[in-house]
Chain A
Amino acid sequence: MSIVLTRIDDRLIHGQVVVGWVQALGVKRIVLIDDEVSANAWEQELYSLGVPADLRVDFVSVVDAARAIDGWSEDATKTILLVGDVDTMVRLCERTSVVRKVNLGGLHEGDDRSQRLAYVYLTDEEASRLRGLREQGIEVTAQDVPTARTIPIEALK
């Protein structure tokens, strides 16, 4: 299994991911799954800035990710799957059974969101959809950086 992390983080590719998780897990590829970014060359260029030369970044839509995920899972390249919001993760999980663990890495303040952890804000609907993933047997835990303890979705307020 070469998908070593499947993460929801509204900052997408940023320091915690590129420096923290990539180093800790020996990752060689990040797949950014986002319908808008996958269709926007300028944003892709922006997200690629500062990424080390030996780290590959792919940009794909949810539909294309669901088609390719078996291949990422089976090849030898250690890979992080990254999405920016709960809806994208749920849509991915609806299309594939490969995702068995979801990491909540960072969801910040927004309309109707309330604070669940220092780095996790969710609307009631987002919290409900994450619990729905858990009910499907997918482990959902919050952990912003590799050295932090994992907190299961059930323990969030």
Chain B
Amino acid sequence: MSDLLTGVVISHGDVAGALVRAVKEITGDDGGLVPISNTGAGRDRLCGDIAAAVGVDSAVVFVDMPGGSCLHATLLELRARSNVAVVAGVNLPMLLDFVFHRDLAPDQAAERAIDAATRSVRALSV
């Protein structure tokens, strides 16, 4: 059993793949993040992809939108799992925070990531 959390990013199109590549560009490491796309996948395949990526150890799953097929498949597949936290509305600052706090419990890592993401969304004067 790994001591560090697994992170799984699930999205429409290649958003998840691009986010994970961006994390690697910034940190030099993919931080244990696994991307999944729903492109071309029906519910059964998407659920299978999620189960394979999450595995049996503790994990945080980041979904692109607070609704739709990615979140639906995630909750359907993982609803009985007590060692997995699910976060909707993934963005890059959220993942950058996560990869440096994979030693936390899933709920704690998820809370931190949400806080980092929320603080990163702001209007700026130009």
A50 near B42: Cβ-Cβ < 8 Å? no
Q: Which of B12, B40, B45, B66 contacts A50 (CB 8 A)?
A: B66
Question: B116 at the A/B interface (Cβ < 8 Å)?
Answer: no
Q: In the complex the two chains form, what is the Cα distance from A49 to B76 in whole Å?
A: 13
B76 near A46: Cβ-Cβ < 8 Å? yes
Question: A137 at the A/B interface (Cβ < 8 Å)?
Answer: no
> Residue of B at shortest CB range from A9?
B69
B interface footprint on A86-106 (CB within 8 Å = 1, 0 otherwise): 000000000000000000000
Nearest CB of B to A60, in Å: 19
Question: A11 at the A/B interface (Cβ < 8 Å)?
Answer: yes
Contact status of A50 and B67, CB under 8 A, knowing A14-B72, A15-B12 = yes
Q: In the complex the two chains form, what is the Cα distance from A48 to B41 in whole Å?
A: 21
Q: Which of A37-62 contact B (CB under 8 A)?
A: 46-51
Nearest CB of B to A149, in Å: 19
Residues of chain B having any CB pair with chain A under 8 Å: 12, 40-45, 65-69, 71-72, 75-76, 88
